[in-house]
Structure 1
Amino acid sequence: MSEFIPGQRWISDGEADLGLGTILNVDARSVTVLFAASQETRTYSVRQAPLTRVMFGSGDRIESADGSQLSVDDSKERDGLVVYIGQDAAGEWHELSETELSDRMPFNQARDRLLTGQVDRNDWFDLRFRTLHHHHRISQNPALGLAGPKIDLIPHQLYIADEVSRRHAPRVLLADEVGLGKTIEAGLILHRLLLNGRAERALILVPDSLTHQWLVELLRRFALDVTLLDEQQSQAHGEANPFDAGQLILASQQWLFANPHRQRQAEACAWDLLIVDEAHHLDWSPAASGPGYDCVERLARAVPGLLLLTATPEQMGMHSHFARLRLLDPDRYHDLARFRAEEAGYVQVAEAIDALERLPGDAAAQSSAAAVIDDADSQALLATLADPQSDAAQQRSARAQLREQLLDRHGTGRVMFRNSRRHVGGFPPRHLHVARLEAPSAYRRVLRKLERDEDHLDELLIETGLDHPDLMLYLDTTYRALSDVSPGDDPFNAEPWWQIDPRVTWLLEHLTGVGRDKTLVIAHDRATAVELAEALRVLGGIHAPVFHEGLTLVERDRAAASFADEEDGSQVMVCSEIGSEGRNFQFCRHLVMFDLPQLPDQLEQRIGRLDRIGQRHAIEIHVPVFAGSPGERLLRWYREGMDAFDAPHGVGSELYAAFGDALAEALLDDDALEAVIDETRALFETRLAERDAGRNRLLELNACRGERAATVAASIRELDADRALPRYLDQALDIFGVDSQELGSQLVHLRAGPHMLDGLPGLAKGEEGFTATRSRERALARDDVQHLSWEHPLIRELMGRILTGTLGNTALALLDHPSIPAGRLMAELVFVTDCPAPKRLHVDRFLPPTAVRVLLDESGANLSAKVSFSGLAKNLQKVKKAVARDLIKSRHAQLRELLEKGELEAERELPTIVEAAQQRMRGVLDDELSRLQALARHNPAVRQDELDALRNERQALDAAIEGARLRLDGVRVIVTVDRETRR
């Protein structure tokens, strides 16, 4: 019976874990199936539907939706539906339509295949059992979802990824300083949410200049298949919504924010997670908001999960920081004045945490801690810590618990994670090298006029169309502008600026002096960058790729790749200011600031291209300035006013907001500059002291809890070192037809063999395949080498096909054993727990498919405890399929009895498995719920919907685990022979 009729029961061949499906609708082209147990609906092509009809025969036990069971004796057809006839437990006869079958009832592909003579190879059966074993083991590893990506095991990144990805619909601001790995943190969170089923669709919005970098990063580091969407791609979809083109969509912010039609299409899609990079560019004030902010705000209201990334959360002031938090939780962050007051209160909490380190024996410290502790449990811990009679172990435990409670309840880390270099540590020093040069006469002439005549500035601003103070700081730009508007006036039309500018000669000398070391050059203006590269070619014969906003994304990527190539790449690359945003050049240690940016945050962004995790050398910062020029005065303000070149400090934007106007006026006046520097320094030191005392101190403490991070890293290393993986992989690759070639140095090359099964990730017949390694260090050292782990897409696909398909679920083998007479029959049955549930519950954390092996002799005696799987498997011999089918046919009745006996034996173990899973689930979720409930009384950053979701999740998991059943997953028939018979 192959005709689809509503009400019939079918299963998915490729997604058996969905449970028993019901045909909902059928038309000439498609069939729609509801899998009620897992709350999923699928639509398939009628011609190629990967579905198998579920029909039960005499002797099968079936279950109705109300939980009653029936032993099938016969069946009949009624309007295309099967009606089963059988007896219940009391011996009474009933009829049960297939529409009334329980959605959770297990179906038995292995049994049906065996009894119809369909048997597979013994090594396939072995692989299936080992797959079940490894999947069960790996599913419960606490590092699942974090071990596969090709990353260094950096504590603060692991902690943030672990903490955020555990939450229901996480909504957080990732605000680590430049170079600390926000993109990696976001990728880890996304990877784990996808792996555990908590997210299926994500929209990633990044600046136009970073789209290809994100695309490559997600592919190389996280093996995520992302669709890059732009206008051209969108138009190719015609009237269809282009945002439905993939599960993971990456798009340019500039493109989407400028296109209301595409925004409406994006908003019409169902997303689980929204990621927004460089979120500080979203304009908002209490009076108005920009189109980008409005777009993200609308999306954020509809999308459950939200990750905002910015290295400068307060770049535009406290109101700008508040604007990001409004996107995360508009109910919590709705009043700017209240938010300011709350932020000020964190000083007391930070002081209390520091005070814990001085206890016992310090009365002032005890008072400081007691001022913010108001519940009985915490007060008891404080009393233990303050009691000099407590032993050292008790005091350590009390101090650790109090510290965690204060961070949880009063810290802002529920919604914002910010690590700084000083907190993370291990960064190389920065060295500033200033080259003081004599300005050419053409530049000096302009500056002298500006110094003597204030009106001349206004004239030049009008004449050149430049802004103030750009006209004074970027003298090459002024030179070009004057040459354009006054072509007949000497000297501005005499020769290109780079032929008279001594910084060009100095740069050529620098490049000669550093030998083979690479140098990144950043200039404020695009035209300066382009013409400077031309100057290097003409004057020094040096090829310098240029990176600027006028290039296409592909051209930018090509320039960056040319610079990054260690062997044949360029020694130098010249960038406009766009080169300071997002791109990573930590393989380079020389940075030339051909000029200085006016904004402190841009200065830090420039340095941050080199000063990143992974940088192994001191950062050499080179700044050529003209003696006595506005550029040199700006350099003094940066150095003397805020130590801007020493390390990032995060208060530069506030200092510029306070003194930027005064600084612009002082760029031609040394005396005025001294006053501005003094005032800047005073505010700088004040803000650093406040930061160290208050909110930022709490953020640093909360953004990486070392013990938790160490536990995650240890779990990842455990998976990395798993000796079972290479053995399993060798067997799986051989069975699936993948050729494997050892290359040495822990490298292996995989490619499709002539008989490979289709559709394996990264492998296509006739193509080269890929090189991979199990070594994390080897994989990190080469971009072209993939990291093989239990989470690699190829291994996940292999395991998934085995677990959800029929490969190896039947077999027949011969056993030659001197102590067992020939002709005896044995049945090795492998049952698996079947627990259909929505993916978002991630039930595998507590009850992954669990194998129950039962080995029966022909009398029904259970030999499982006496004969191990491995011990038996190594003594088995293969048999031809034709012989196997004849043997099965001749022993049909006996096999049916053994199958029923084996099911009864396996069912005895199910209650223990279910109870253990429920205890694990309740232990984890009850502890988390108690913690969040206590936290919610003190910290309003815990959302009510998060608490409700956790309660609902616990209830749904409890019901799902309670409803777990056993399903016969595989059966191997074993017939004993003697040597004479064998011959």
Structure 2
Amino acid sequence: MQQFAIGQRWLSDTETELGLGVVIDVDERSLSILFPKSDETRVYARSNAPLSRIIFNINDEIYDQEGNLWLVESLEERFGVIRYNAIRTLDNGEQERKTLNETRIGAQIQLSKPLDRLLASQVDIKAWYDLRIEALQLQASMQTSRLRGLLGARVGLIPHQLYIAHEVGKRFAPRVLLADEVGLGKTIEAGLIIHQQLKTGRAERILILVPDSLQYQWMIEMRRRFNLNFSLFDLTRTASIKEHDPELNPFLTEQCIIASVDLMIDHEDLREQAVEAGFDLLVVDEAHHLMWSEEEGGNDRYDLVEELAEKTAGVLLLTATPEQLGVESHFARLRLLDPQRFSSLDRFLDEEEQYQHTAKIAEVLMSDEALTEQHLTALEGLLGHRIEDQPEQRYQAIHELLDRHGTGRVLFRNTREAIQGFPGRDCQPAPLVAPADWSVDGKLREQMWPEENQLDGSWMETDPRVAWLMEILRKDLKHKKVLLIARSGPVVEALESALRLHAGVRTAMFHEGMSLLERDQAAAYFAEESYGAQILLCSEIGSEGRNFQFASDLILFDLPANPDVLEQRIGRLDRIGQQNRIQIHVPYLQGTAQERMFRWYNEALNIFSNISPTAQTLQENFIVDLKECLLADLGQKFEDLLEEVNVQREALEAELQAGRDRLLEYNSCRPVIAQEIVQALEDYDDNTTLPMFVKRFMSSTNIDFDEQSNGTVIIKPTDQMQVQGLTLDEEGMTATFYRDQAQIREDAQYLTLEHPFIESMMEMINTQSFGSTNVALLKSNALKQGSVLLEVWFKVDVIAPKALNLPASLPQQLVRVLLSETGQDLSAKIDPMMLRPHLHHLDGNSCRQVVKARRDVIEARYRQALDIAKTVLPELQQQAKSNYGQQWQYEIERLSYLKQFNPSIRQDEIERLQKLQQEGLSLLDSLSISPEAIQVLVVVKP
């Protein structure tokens, strides 16, 4: 019979939520316990009270009744009651010692150590224990994965995007210019880099600067593709913060911020506060608007970014036109990234001239052309050693040239020609007869888009484009998915209503007046193959940031005034992943400004058939003549303008083609490395155990998990949920584990190990006691019946900044010890997977009886397991330091060597690596072991 005394602290095995109880009365047959936390009193029979004695050990932390935290230094027993000699550190740094009777201990108790919970009869179900072990193993594998930071993105497995993300994202404080051609995914590349920097701890505070019109697109893209919640800072948001606290810097209220460039330029105080706030990474979209010259300096946008870039360690600049606005402008953007390296335009031009020679040699290396003696001599001069014309040596020589190439580390530029995989596009003009009352004079807006002045929809009665649209959807495009884009939401709403009500077409809308959820639902309805919408009608803003590669027919109901906007429209379909040639249907009214605008885009800029890298520049150069010709039919003058611009365009494109730097293009996507990353992600997608893990977790914790026939799942919280702290909205969420499905169903969240919901599950398991104890039956004839085995899992801990990623250098992060009742170490002989089929559930009452009956054995074997686990530490520490040191030393020596040839490698980058290497090696001296889970196995006959 257990020994009870007034003042002792006990925990109820069956009602742990009552907190820590104190014995207030004892007689021969019963005892009374007061539970102060819940103000409840329970009376138990002494012979079989479901209670566990709580005794804290040396170095345990305890709270007194006032809520003060103490550390136990020693303890003694007097008349059955424990007295704790404890110490605490006061706010002024001084230490206070005190003796606490256990009656003075606070009633709130959270037993976190597995052994304490087990001995207190807090035994979890077997399913929870198994989930905890699997979660620990999943986290350990993630720590060492080269895919860390790349897994969680809702993106296709496109080699050049993944290569750039991997190459740049792993750097500390990357400063690069992303300059891929339109449609190759610069925003995705930037998002992948941002995601990787945040997940690996290399960056925590990020500022994205974009034009006004792109703020929402970036915010949505970051949230939908990468599960990153950026705060949009506009004048209303910043004014609200200032009104609440005039002294507070608004840019210190959030970690990840999107703001418009114009906001900073127009409000000097906000600009100063953004600079003062300090960020780890600055991202600037549309960087070709940053203008600079040696004579005049920079424009206001350039000066703003320059000021921020000086104070920010990492900088990403995004532009699709790196050199189209002139070499000086290109140099100016590189100057923002590294003002010391790019300090002189003349020196830069000289270096570029030398690198052109290098690029020509590299082009021969990358071709099937045999190397002549002249080539070999030139290579010897560049590399410092002679090579043979053998495949391996040619391959190695290419990579040596790439490492030494001038802007190879700071500039990434992929072209459609180099990447390929684009089926092409065709223009399908639809000239229509204009109504007699159509305006052919007046303002250009009224001639081009008169429907926008008739918000009541009356324009539809006479506009021939409406009848044409109904006809083409009924006949030529009847069985196809069609995307229609118009300038404004009201036009889209009017067209949708007519098509749905009068033409019987299945429609979906997508415009800025809809909520994010409504847009997601519309996109999902459009994506449905069999019963989804035939046509999705989008406004200009509503279509931004969305890609619909599964459709190949685009209707441009009207034409925008800006060629970049037109290219953005076409880019919704003309992207990597498109399987068919895109058909661009363009209705226009003959003899009007609409026809002249169509001819300008088609005949002068050739923008419907191909991406035109010079279109925006040419239109800006000829804008005065163009407006004059659009406003009125000037006959031959317009014909001459079309011819002149077409000739200039062809000349400029030929010049760009001749100046293509194929060495730079190859460096922007090294095929072998890129394919390795793609293969690794494909292997993860094919072999991940996450779906089964999540399904079992949901089932065992009473979270609603409903699998759908279309490959998605609906996850909802319930009133009976047994866990807290998960990132799960009250309304639940629709999700998928499959990348292909996530690409199509943007309303479904893509669940990976890096999704916030899964991360919250892992965090809950890490910080709470979920599944840390279990007692199970082991059916076996090979072991003594009635004996017990003890399985303990330990984690190898190293306290260090997240950015160092020290766990990745550990040869193993988990240590498992399995001991027989007599102390025989069975860890190596009996694998966990061998045990699993023979383990069976044991009811709660029997579990508690086993723990109480075999308490001494359990404690003795646990101490032995701990000693065994600690003996592993020295070897793990030695291997970890060797791995970590070699990893950094290789990169330090590589960059130090290359710096002799490539001045774009910064000395501060090398010094940073050296500092991180020393810091990590020092911290690895402090490896420790912490218990994570403990399981008692009771041997019975099969």
TM interval, shorter chain, is 0.7 to 0.9
Instruction: Supply the AA of the counterpart residue of 2:876.
Output: I
User: What SS does the corresponding residue of 1:384 show, helix, strand or coil?
Assistant: coil
Q: CA deviation at 1:476?
A: 1.2
- Give 1:190 shift: 2.0
Q: What is the one-letter code of the residue matched to 1:856?
A: L
Tell me how far apart the structure 1 counterparts of residues 221 and 450 of structure 2 sit (CA, whole Å): 41
Q: Is contact 2:265-2:301 (8 Å) kept?
A: yes
Question: Does 1:266 find its partner at 2:261?
Answer: no
Match of 1:969 in 2: 932
Match of 2:861 in 1: 898
Map 1:263-302; keep pairs closer than 5 Å.
263-282=271-290, 284-286=292-294, 287=296, 289-302=298-311
Q: For residue 843 of structure 1, what is the aligned residue in structure 2?
A: 806
CA distance in 1, matches of 2:624, 2:112: 78
In the alignment, does 2:120 pair up with 1:120?
no
Q: Secondary structure at the match of 1:312?
A: coil
Question: Does residue 697 of structure 1 match 2:662?
Answer: yes
The one of the two structures with greater contact order (alpha-carbon pairs below 8 A, sep at least 6) is 1
| TM-score normalised by length of structure 1 | 0.74
**Contact 1:205/1:253 (<8 A) preserved:** yes
Structure 2 unaligned regions, length at least 5: 1-63, 77-82, 99-110
1:785 aligned residue? 748
Secondary structure of 1:732's counterpart equals helix
- Is 2:139 the partner of 1:135? yes
The residue aligned with 1:743 is 708
Contact 1:830/1:968, CA 8 A, preserved across alignment: yes
Please say if 1:418 is aligned against 2:413.
yes
Q: Deviations over 1:476-505 (max 9, x none)?
A: 169999x9xxxxxxxxxxxx9999987787
Amino acid at match of 2:671: G
Tell whether the 8 Å contact from 2:727 to 2:760 is kept in structure 1 after alignment: no
Per-residue deviation at 1:352?
0.9
Q: Note if 1:913 corresponds to 2:876.
A: yes
Question: What is the one-letter code of the residue matched to 1:716?
Answer: L
Match of 1:488?
none
Deviations 1:680-717 (A, max 9, x none): 56654554444334454333222222211111111112
* Structure 2 residue aligned with 1:162: 166
Aligned equivalents of 1:328, 1:776: Cα separation in 2: 35
Compute the displacement of 1:161 (Å).
Answer: 1.2
SS of 1:198 mapped into structure 2: coil
Secondary structure of the residue that 2:818 maps to in structure 1?
strand
In structure 2, the residue matched to 1:518 is: 482
- The amino acid of 1:756's aligned partner reads M
**Which letter does structure 2 place at the counterpart of 1:926?**
Q
Against the structure 1 CA distance between its residues 602 and 852, is the aligned structure 2 distance closer, same or farther, given a 3 Å change threshold? closer
The equivalent of 2:8 in structure 1 is: none
- Structure 2 residue corresponding to 1:247, chosen from 236, 255, 264: 255
CA distance in 2, matches of 1:812, 1:536: 63
Report deviation, 1:678.
6.6
1:354 corresponds, among 353, 363, 381, to 363
Distance 1:679 1:348, change over 3 A: farther
How far residue 642 of structure 1 moved from its aligned partner, in angstroms, is 5.6
2:108 match: none
> Which residue identity does 2:362 align to in structure 1?
I
Question: For 1:260-291, what per-residue CA distance to the aligned partner results, in whole angstroms no more than 9, with x for missing partners?
Answer: 34334433434332333333344555525454
Pair 1:628–1:800, CA change in 2 (3 A) = closer
Q: Structure 1 residues 227 and 914, CA, compared in 2 at 3 Å: closer, same or farther?
A: same
Equivalent position SS for 2:388: helix
Mapped partners of 2:351, 2:684: distance in 1: 43
Q: Which residue type is aligned with residue 900 of structure 2?
A: R
8 Å CA contact 1:642, 1:652 repeated in 2: yes
Map of 2:679 onto structure 1: 714
Deviation at 1:854, TM superposition (A): 1.6
Closer, same or farther in 2 for the Cα pair 1:152/1:112, shift >3 Å?
Answer: same
Match of 1:321 in 2: 330
- Alpha-carbon distance change, 343 to 498 in structure 1, aligned in 2, over 3 angstroms: farther
Q: 1:911 to 1:707 in 2, by over 3 A?
A: same
Give the superposition deviation at 1:787: 2.3
Aligned residue number for residue 25 of structure 1: none
Q: How does 1:908-947 map to 2 (within 5 A)?
A: 908-947=871-910
One-letter code of the match for 2:271?
Answer: Q
Q: Alpha carbon RMSD of aligned pairs, Å?
A: 4.7
1:374 CA displacement? 2.9
Q: Is the 8 A contact 2:726 2:764 kept in 1?
A: no
User: 2:70 touches 2:86 (CA, 8 Å); kept in 1?
Assistant: no
Q: Describe how 1:297-312 pairs up with structure 2 within 5 A.
A: 297-312=306-321
> 1: distance between equivalents of 2:523 and 2:689?
41
Query: In structure 2, the residue corresponding to 1:422 is in which secondary structure?
Result: helix
- Look up the equivalent residue of 1:899 and give its one-letter code: Y
Moved more, 220-229 or 638-647: 638-647
- Letter aligned with residue 142 of structure 2: I
> Is it true that 1:852 corresponds to 2:815 in the alignment?
yes
Aligned-pair distance for 1:918?
3.2
Q: Are the counterparts in 2 of residues 546 and 559 from structure 1 also a CA contact under 8 Å? A: no
Q: Deviation of residue 223 (structure 1)?
A: 2.5
Higher alpha-carbon deviation: 148-157 or 652-661:
652-661
Distance 1:538 1:375 in 2: 68
In 1, the alpha carbon distance for the partners of 2:719 and 2:126 equals 22
Q: CA distance change for structure 1 residues 418 and 779 in 2, over 3 Å: closer, same or farther?
A: same
Count of paired positions = 841
User: What is residue 222 of structure 2 aligned with on the other side?
Assistant: 218
Give the aligned residue type for 1:402: A
Residues of 2 paired with 1:513 and 1:709: CA distance?
Answer: 44
Tell me if structure 1 keeps the 8 A contact 2:288–2:322: yes
Amino acid at match of 2:215: T
- Is residue 730 of structure 1 aligned with residue 695 of structure 2? yes
For each residue in 1:274-311, what CA deviation from the matched residue of structure 2 results, as whole angstroms up to 9, or x when unmatched? 33333334455552545444443333333322223333
2:803 matches 1:808: no
Q: Which amino acid aligns with 1:949?
A: R
Provide the secondary structure at the position in 2 that maps to 1:374.
helix
**Distance (Å, rounded) in 2 between the aligned partners of 1:134 and 1:532:** 47
Q: What are the within-5 Å matches in structure 2 for residues 609-648 of structure 1?
A: 609-623=572-586, 643-648=606-611
Residue of structure 1 aligned with 2:395, choices 392, 396, 400: 400
Segment of structure 1 superposing worse, 290-299 or 924-933? 290-299
1:428 to 423, 427, 447: 423
1:825, 1:974 within 8 Å by CA — same for their partners in 2? yes
1:147-226 superposed matches below 5 A: 147-226=151-230
CA contact (8 A) 1:498 1:532 kept: no
Task: Using the TM superposition, name which of 803-812 and 559-568 deviates more.
Answer: 559-568
1:373-522 map, 5 Å: 373-376=381-384, 379-380=385-386, 383-385=387-389, 395-410=390-405, 412-434=407-429, 476=447, 514-516=476-478, 518=482, 520-521=484-485
* Counterparts in 2 of 1:122 and 1:960: CA distance versus 1, 3 Å: same
Q: Is the 8 A contact 2:485 2:569 kept in 1?
A: no
Name the amino acid aligned to 2:335: R
Greater shift, 913-922 or 945-954, is seen at: 913-922
Partner amino acid, structure 2, of 1:312: T
Displacement after TM superposition at 1:411 (Å): 5.1
Deviation string, structure 1 residues 809-850 (Cα, Å, up to 9, x no partner): 333445454454455443322222111110111223223871
Q: Which stretch has the larger CA shift, 413-422 or 239-248?
A: 239-248
- Alignment gaps of 5+ in structure 1: 1-45, 60-72, 86-106, 386-394, 447-463, 484-495
1:303 aligned partner, one-letter code: T
- Cα distance in 2 for partners of 1:916, 1:347 equals 45
Q: CA deviation at 1:657?
A: 6.3
